[in-house]
A and B are shown apart, each in its own frame.
Chain A
Amino acid sequence: MSEQFIARGPTLAYRMLGGETIIMSAGDSTLFSLDEVGSFIWQKADGRTLDSIAADICEEYDVTPEVARRDAEEFVAALVSRGLLVLSQEQPVREKS
């Protein structure tokens, strides 16, 4: 995963609300919600690599690089398995944040 680029899925509706992110999958209208740290990673998932996201987590939270990377990797894998994040070998065009 470390060499891959991480981006949000193409058919999702989402919005930050009260410290969490609510995501709806258009495919089956399934709802997901992410907590504060999950929302932070979600915002960063705009075509960056896992290493880049882990570095951002270290800057924002009091956490070691190893823990940040491990947590980010588990989180990204969980969202990829649900179709909310996608991995690609080529860097997608970055969204304007």
Chain B
Amino acid sequence: MSSSAAVAVQASEIHPAPASATIEIGGTAIRFCPDRTGFADAIVPRYAAFLNNQARPRYEFEVSLRTAAAPADAEPRLSRSGSIWSIERGDLQADWDVRSHRGHARQEFSAYSTDALLRIVHTLLLVEEGGFLLHASSVARNGRAFLFAGISGAGKTTISRLAPRGAILLSDEISYVRAGKNGYCAHGTPFTSFDLQPRAENISAPLGGVYLLEKGPENRIDAVDESTAARSLLRNVLFFTKDAGFVNHLFEAALEFVSRIPVRKLIFTPEERVWDMIR
């Protein structure tokens, strides 16, 4: 056998390494290192605006891709033991160490599982910084961000899509709020309904205010007192865990937020001119 033939055999056994993908949201990058090829391609359509493989990851997950053992919509169970957080859902099992910043995810070949893991990890990271994820759409306009919170059907997506030219969508479902030295900022997120085309951009803007949405016969803004604002906000904050220390932190973060950011009720009809009132 010639030496060139031997080289040819070895070459045929070399496969390209599965490409990792780094998803950066709110300036926090999380890298996923899958055990099979095609993972990055599978998630590109959802996270295209948030992929940044040059970013230095705050967490790195090895990803073992597999077939789901249970339906994906099962309620996630999040628990903590020492420095290790664990999540268990039908389509996803993951654990990560807050000291080493490394973790392992066993999940479906789907952005749906990745999305759940991202939401939970970001929620846990944000609370350390006085921030949270919120069931709200968010839009940046004229250099400031506005959040529109409400239950399903309240009009979060509707109002974000009525935004005038020049406005930038940060999220039409889950908003990202972080406390900083100079106040609160809202950041773009890729978290949207899986039946919607991703449109959100990966930018941030200082937070101008929060509107509690309610559809009605006219466009009107009503003041709300601080306790109503707090209760409304807390109903829309993503919690995920029953860990008492964590819930306490998030509770305090939400109350601090309503003491500093204006929260109002926006009653609106689905027409563009409602945006004349938002400032």
Contact = CB atoms under 8 A, between A and B. Distances in A.
Main secondary structure, interface of B, reads: helix
Contacts, number: 42
Contacts of A29: 239, 242, 247
B120 interface: no
A17 B226 contact: yes
Interface string A1-36: 000000000110101011110101011110101000
B128 interface: no
Contacts of A15: 251-252, 255
B2 to A, nearest CB: 70
A10 B248 CA distance: 11
Interface residues of A, number: 16
A10 B225 CA distance: 28
Interface residues of B, number: 16
Nearest to A23: B251
Contact of B244 (A18, A19, A22, A26): A26
B243 to A, nearest CB: 7
A22 B235 CA distance: 12
B248 A26 contact: yes
Interface in B238-257: 239, 242-244, 247-248, 251-252, 255
Interface of A: 10-11, 13, 15, 17-20, 22, 24, 26-29, 31, 33
